[in-house]
Amino acid sequence: MAATTHTQQPRSSPPAKEMEKMTTNVDAVQERVLEEILTSNADAEYLAKQCGLAGATDRATFRAKVPMVTYEDLRPYIRRIVYGDRSPILSGPGHPISELLASSGTSGGGEPKLIPTVEDELDRRALLHGLVMPVMSRHVPLLDEGSGFYFYFVKSETKTPGGLPARTVMTSFFRSDHFKKLPYDPRRKYTSPAAAVLCEDTSQGMYAQMLCGLCHRGSVRRIGTVFAYSLLLAIRFLQLNWRQLAADIEAVAGIPELARFIRAECSGDRWAGIIPRIWPNTKCLHAIATGSMRQYVPTLNFYSGGLPIVSTIYGASECYIGLNLRPMCDPSEVSYTIMPNMAYFEFLPLDDDDGGGDAAAPSQRSRQLVELARVEAGREYEPVVTTYAGLCRYRLGEVLLATGFHNAAPEFRFVRRAGVLLSLNSIDKTDEAELQRAVNCASALLLRPTHGHGHGAPLVDYTSRACAASVPGHYVIYWELMPGAAVDGETLGACCLEMEAALNAIYRQCRVADRSRSGLSGLSRATAGEEEQRAQHRQRRWLRRKGGSESAAAWALLPPRLRARPARRRREQRRQRSVVRE
């Protein structure tokens, strides 16, 4: 993954023209995609027996015979795949299920969803990834003159009882040849080697990638990861480990001036604007900052000095969906253009009073589905996808707002996950988007300079629950603050009032008119890094017992040019000094 490790191959032309063609002929592309999916899966049990499609590939028959479903509806079929049934259940015999992707969402009982996928789905995901840098380069000049400093990680994978891999989407991609054999592209240079990404020990992988980013700090043009929260984890890692990083950069890499610089920047409490100070040529941060990730934007602005935060891809475990063609817009204004070749897309219109469209009978709701080319701007929809892996008319459980069009392709803004997040009765209903807005308003108070507390106390994460154990019932909000944060009771009280003022009108009516219904009890706070520090302490004890060190294991992942022996470094430095004296 390092800039010098790719095989030098001719740079291929970006597929931007093909994208323009697709988004101009949306309906024709969608008709072709549906025909391909139904043809390849015609002999699958679900389509042939359950739906009675009998090999038909036209839209009219598909709409008449295939119902709209959720994960729970397909769970019995997926369970058979998990336990080793190799018959064509969801996908056809020519496109067998190759792996199961662990979704970040959960199904009934709190179990992670396992989403079936087929081998050529990686080609479609790679195609969308291939559009990211051409689009960014249109809006961010000179990206190809530097490197990308990215924090990427694989997670441990398991085998299902039937022997199929079960892993996350990104782990699947990083372990594939699409990642390992990336063709050379000057816009796709990275500071870290592939070994640092593929290391299953997250701590060592983070250490190695941070070392590379520090050693190449002058060439860094963009800093990124998959989700915005992971960038905060990287900053937290730097806060906890800068002393060891500086020591290794000085003793092993032999760059004492860089080590002194890191000590000077990280030893105080001046963490506001730390990113552009250490990586001065950074033009943007690259991470998903929409949906639930929007809560981290204020804290990222705190550390980055307001650098643009670029969200490029909208995807799910089921399929990739769209691309942000205006990457430099504010995270709150991001809209994703649907790429019509990724899957067959339909949309369930959502009215303000139905909370997700479940009140009507399933057959009636299926008839209300709108095709991609017939979406109306200004309306909210739930996306319903039909994928090459055999998920047919599958509800994604998300709420999108149609904001406009790129050519003929609709653009959508992510609003929230469907359903209610907090409720104490049938009247008060607080969804994810409402709670997030309230947290954003309240947490802004934490970033104000306080007496003797530097630059405030950035919020790292939050969670919530509805507590009905006492009367009146109330919402409990847990805030996780950065290490060293000091917040007094007066500030927390002000945050409570700010959150209550930002919640919906029905909540406030219940709070004021009938205190037995709901109320915000207050904020519970925890300092970030406490459990992480305990885990790191356990790891260091284990390494000491084994005669090794955390940083030594991480250094083994780095390119040879960063692993020169200290003695050889010192000899080279003495030789240079002697030449200067002469």
Residue 142 pLDDT grade (very low, low, confident, very high; cuts 50, 70, 90): confident
Q: For the whole prediction, is pTM greater than 0.85?
A: no
- SS3 assignment for 309-359: EECCEEECCCCEEEECCCCCCCHHHCCEEECCCCCEEEEEECCCCCCCCCC
Count CB neighbours of 58 within 10 A.
12
**Measuring CA to CA, which residue among 409, 351, 420, 414 is closest to residue 383?**
414
Highest CATH level, class, for 432-528: alpha beta
Measure Cα distances from 184 to 2, 3, 10, 480 in Å: 11, 9, 7, 41
pLDDT tens, position by position, 205-224: 999 999 999 999 999 999 99
Taking the C-alpha atoms of residue 253 and residue 259, their distance in angstroms, rounded to an integer, is 10
pLDDT number for residue 95: 92
Alpha-helical runs (H) found in 216-324: 228-251, 256-266, 274-278, 297-304
d(Cα 305, Cα 50) in Å, to the nearest integer?
56
Residue 190: closest CA among 229, 154, 221: 221
Would you say residue 154 has pLDDT above 80? yes
The mean-pLDDT minimum among 22-36, 321-335, 349-363 falls in 349-363
Among 400, 347, 340, 370, smallest CA distance to 34 is for 340
Can you tell me which residue has the tokens 């306080």? Answer: 450
Give me the percent of the chain exceeding a pLDDT of 70.
74
For the record, the structure tokens of 16 come out as 């931007």
Cα–Cα distance for residue pair 464/422, rounded to 1 Å: 8
Report the distance separating Cα 361 and Cα 428, nearest Å.
25
In the sheet where 284-288 sits, what is the strand order?
147-151, 220-227, 284-288, 309-310
Q: Does domain 1-140+153-191+283-419 have CATH number 1.10.10?
A: no
Task: Return the domain boundaries, the chain.
Answer: 1-140+153-191+283-419, 432-528
> Alpha-carbon distance 59 to 358, whole Å?
24
Given a cut of 60, whether residue 116 has pLDDT beyond it is yes
Q: Which helix (H) or strand (E) holds 477?
A: strand 474-481
What residues pair up with 361 in beta bridges, in sequence order?
none
pLDDT per residue as tens digits for the range 546-555: 344 445 556 5
